[in-house]
Amino acid sequence: PPSRAADVLLPPIRQGLAVHGRLGFLQDITVTTAALGGQAGLLGAAALVFEPEKYR
């Protein structure tokens, strides 16, 4: 399940940003799972198909 993957993937991503993120705005970023869950990829692909000029 996505929540189990997040438990493994998010901590090192957060740590990497904390250690290597040199830009000031990175200090205010919250790394979390997608609000759209499993639909995020599908909706992103659909957006690219229906509005390609917006995402180039």
* pLDDT (0 to 100) of residue 9: 92
User: What total of structural domains would you count in the chain?
Assistant: 1
The whole-angstrom separation of Cα 6 and Cα 36 is 14
**2-44 tens-digit pLDDT:** 668 888 999 999 999 888 888 888 778 888 888 888 888 899 9
* pLDDT (0 to 100) of residue 2: 60
In three-state secondary structure terms, 55 is helix
* pLDDT (0 to 100) of residue 51: 93
Domain ranges, residue 41: 2-55
* pLDDT (0 to 100) of residue 4: 81
The whole-angstrom separation of Cα 24 and Cα 33 is 22
